[in-house]
Structure 1
Amino acid sequence: MVVHGIIFDMDGLMFDSEKLYNQANIEAAKEMKLPFPDDYYQRFIGASDDDMMAFFDEAFGGKEQTERFMELTYQRINELVRTGHLKKKPGLDDLLDYLDQQRIAKIIASSNFKSKITEFLVAGGISDRFSKIVSVDKVKAGKPAPDLFLRAQTELALPKEQVLILEDSPNGLLAAKAANINCLIVPDLIQPTDEMRQQALAVLPNLGAVKDYLEKINH
């Protein structure tokens, strides 16, 4: 295959933000004296807030509790971003430079909201690197549904066989598979299972390795 377009996930792939969200969830639950087992956050990595909130409505005993929990979570996230705790993943800048040099198109397709994506890109100093963004508020369903990736592929105006998705999560990989678009996994909080390794085009240790991978398959 020859890759002419890359679809980027954002949280956990471009930014070390999943750890911040998990930290914010734990602190919010502690303040509200709510149970928050270790697997609560991981099961929704890469998925939309709607799926997570539906689960928390039941786990926390109603929408009012969930809404307060999410409000505290976002307050903490905003504080962490404002104070410089949001870090770019190693190799991101070099990969973006390489894509621009090779004239490989790129787009973000994230289960996050457009406002938060923009905030993170500004905080990371890369708001000028992406002219195309597909956020969860642009589609009917977030990951693991394929909507985000199908919309991104349409906006790239490239056939699926020329597009590659970069993901870190099981939900993202499921969405890529449902969209029938090849996917590379760069793990973050969740280490890939044998099944994930079989479904992904490859599992790579970091974004620098993605650059090396593209150099091999495109030449």
Structure 2
Amino acid sequence: MQAFIFDMDGVIIDSEPIHNKVVKEVLLENNIVVDDEEFNKLIGMTSTSVFSYFIDKHHLPYTPEEMTNNHMNFFKKYIVDHNLKPIDGICPLLEQLQKANIPLAIASSSPLNVIEFVVKTFNIDKYFKFLISGEDILHSKPAPDIYLKTAKKLQVNPKDCVVLEDSKNGSIAAKDAGMYCIGFANPNSGNQDLSRADIIIKQISDINITQLP
């Protein structure tokens, strides 16, 4: 292992229930009801891609950018108002990786300003060498593009990178990039198929960095 790459939503912050709630409320205002099964298939994709999906499917009178901006403004306010903290085990893991001199990055489907907001609010920005947003990449997860770009920025061969993911789309992206993937079975991320991951954990503290390839 020469680098460790984190997804953010559902891995660093337990945000999937918040995202789901906001999107469902917006759609409900337009008389659209989405069941969890359909929504869970979209986890790991960029917000713009998710909103584009619903706009196209239901012919909504908005742009993906308008819906994404409104969504993310609510999301940042929610983090502050509810004093959210990192998922249990994340801070100790960051400390262990830093002490082992492993370069770290975030490769998230969220917009860059939201990634920056989360890591600064949680006071963990000092750990990460790069913050990469899927909004700046042509193909969203499950395409491997974001992970290949992150490896290139880190100047590390993809096969020497370890990724921590909580979604089917994210784990597919990591594996198709040629990386070792740890699947985090976060119950708040829905019933995700993590079968492509190399190992599956139920809590972050289960990660032993000395046993990673």
CA-to-aligned-CA distance 1:12-49 (integer Å, 9 cap, x gap): 11110111111112232334433222234212110123
Look up the match of 1:158. 156
2:60 equivalent among 59, 62, 70: 62
Structure 2 residues without counterparts, runs of 5 or longer: none
Q: 3-state SS of the aligned residue for 2:97?
A: helix
Structure 1 residues without counterparts, runs of 5 or longer: none
Give the Cα–Cα distance (whole angstroms) in 2 for the partners of residues 166 and 116 of structure 1: 19
Give the Cα–Cα distance (whole angstroms) in 2 for the partners of residues 177 and 108 of structure 1: 16
Name which of structure 1's ranges 156-165 and 110-119 shifts more when overlaid on structure 2. 156-165
Give the Cα–Cα distance (whole angstroms) in 1 for the partners of residues 172 and 205 of structure 2: 24
Aligned partners of 2:44 and 2:109 also within 8 Å: yes
1:175-190 alignment runs, 5 A limit:
175-188=173-186, 189-190=189-190
1:27 equivalent among 18, 25, 29: 25
TM norm structure 2: 0.88
Look up the match of 2:201. 204
Shift in Å, 1:67: 6.4
Aligned partners of 1:143 and 1:172 also within 8 Å: yes
Name which of structure 1's ranges 137-146 and 109-118 shifts more when overlaid on structure 2. 137-146
Identical residues among aligned pairs (%): 24
Look up the match of 1:144. 142
Aligned partners of 2:108 and 2:132 also within 8 Å: yes
Shift in Å, 1:60: 2.8
CA-to-aligned-CA distance 1:129-170 (integer Å, 9 cap, x gap): 213111123322221111100011111212233211110100
Give the Cα–Cα distance (whole angstroms) in 1 for the partners of residues 148 and 137 of structure 2: 10
Structure 1 residues 97 and 24: CA distance shift in structure 2, 3 A: same
Shift in Å, 1:205: 1.2
1:124 alignment partner AA: F
Aligned partners of 2:46 and 2:135 also within 8 Å: no
1:126 alignment partner AA: I
Aligned partners of 2:103 and 2:129 also within 8 Å: no
Coordinate RMSD, CA, aligned: 2.2
Aligned partners of 2:72 and 2:114 also within 8 Å: no
Look up the match of 2:170. 172
Structure 1 residues 42 and 96: CA distance shift in structure 2, 3 A: same
Structure 1 residues 76 and 27: CA distance shift in structure 2, 3 A: farther
Q: 3-state SS of the aligned residue for 1:215?
A: helix
TM norm structure 1: 0.86
Look up the match of 2:90. 92
